[in-house]
Structure 1
């Protein structure tokens, strides 16, 4: 096992929301390659979650899949209880890293976006992040790390994404406030803002639509669309001790998109 865990008998554990697919899956497996165990959430697809558990096991660590709708704050207490039990089974009472990644997509013009659409985005992308982080704070180790996943759309304006981008912008502001308020506990908090990534997000449009894929590649300095491991590996490296002094930052990981 080539990891920071190799020099410590105390297991390191991350909680990753939305870890059964896409960027979350890549993050769980990127951490696994570094010897870090994960507790990750999935919304509905248990079969895909089980595949991530198996892949992490092949990397020599344990991963635990818990069902959670991050837009339902009332369920967070029960989720925290499940986390406590898993930590206890691992012989510890605190976890080390929280990655707020779970999300839903949205594409609609400002003029026709409905209240229910905005409410759904708010519940998952801001309210859920706010209150899940709050609920898990007593279980997060002093000196731990939090990564909030945002989007390149807070910098680059794409019509049809106004409420989605606005919620992510709120999370970026929240990140700075958390970094300030949690600094006394030695907890670093950062935002990672991916560019366009070839996943099933938004119906897989970047991955599966050749025209969109081509247009994104043309506007990206490195000449291609992003892949999930471009993000998951970066988040895993950001959580490593080598980056302990990075705090309160918005780090865009887009290959140089729309420069």
Structure 2
């Protein structure tokens, strides 16, 4: 059985990805930070699909936690799947939010940096010895960092980190190609997730009036759902995408067209 790690799998895109993997017969390790009940829900949803999942707490913004997490992963692989390696890594943990350039503090900038760029970078480095040759990595970016994306005011810090994630994805794909490991990114548009912003306000539950506005700006006429993005991630991980690497796929339903 193949095994995947979904970082940030307690809700939204990460949770949808874990369930989609389970439907393909893949065992799942998910991480959570401040949402343990959501992680339990993810495990239950995976088990409902007939799969096996375990959940571990991990703050992706704290690199000092990574060595212990790697040991947890190694033990879970042995105990649950009788393996010493895993096949897929999805870096989907994060937080959103906006702040006008003049209002961005060093504290907020550093938080974006730790969670959205430094964390995925060094967590992937820590887990790389356990990732099997021929495996695959997908990083969750944002269409706000694409040249074709909308340059909305208030996203200078957030988009800068996602832009760095995009460049890292491409160069890492070159480095890991010698092991047959593919590295890609997906860039969602507006998606109905639980993702909290920098002030702890929860996404579209707090701003329902934005849903019809964003749907009106999307070619396919609705807001994106986590399953829309999860399906794209799992497709990139799978064998049908074996000849795709170093790519960034926008998954937005044509937002801004």
Name the TM-score class by shorter chain: over 0.9
2:37 paired residue number? 47
State how many pairs are aligned: 249
Q: Alpha-carbon deviation of 1:204?
A: 4.0
CA-atom RMSD in angstroms? 1.1
What is the SS of the residue equivalent to 1:146? Answer: strand
1:197–1:207 CA contact under 8 A, matched in 2: no
* Regions of 4+ moved over 6 Å: none
CA distance in 2, matches of 1:217, 1:48: 27
Given candidates 228, 234, 241, the residue that maps to 1:236 is: 234
1:17–1:102 CA contact under 8 A, matched in 2: yes
> 204-213 vs 146-155, which deviates more?
204-213
CA distance in 2, matches of 1:33, 1:44: 26
- The structure-2 alpha-carbon separation of the partners of 1:198 and 1:204, relative to structure 1 and needing over 3 Å to count, comes to farther
Cα deviation code 1:140-190 (max 9, x no counterpart): 000000000000111321111110110000000000111000000000000
TM-score normalised to structure 2 length: 0.94
1:207–1:213 CA contact under 8 A, matched in 2: no
Q: Alpha-carbon deviation of 1:208?
A: 5.0
CA distance in 2, matches of 1:55, 1:200: 17
What is the SS of the residue equivalent to 1:182? Answer: helix
TM-score normalised to structure 1 length: 0.94
Alignment partner of 1:250 is 2:241: no
> 90-99 vs 199-208, which deviates more?
199-208
Q: Alpha-carbon deviation of 1:117?
A: 0.1
> 180-189 vs 46-55, which deviates more?
46-55
CA distance in 1, matches of 2:95, 2:220: 27
Give unpaired runs (5+ residues) of structure 1.
1-10
Q: Alpha-carbon deviation of 1:127?
A: 0.6
Matches within 5 A, 1:110-121: 110-121=101-112
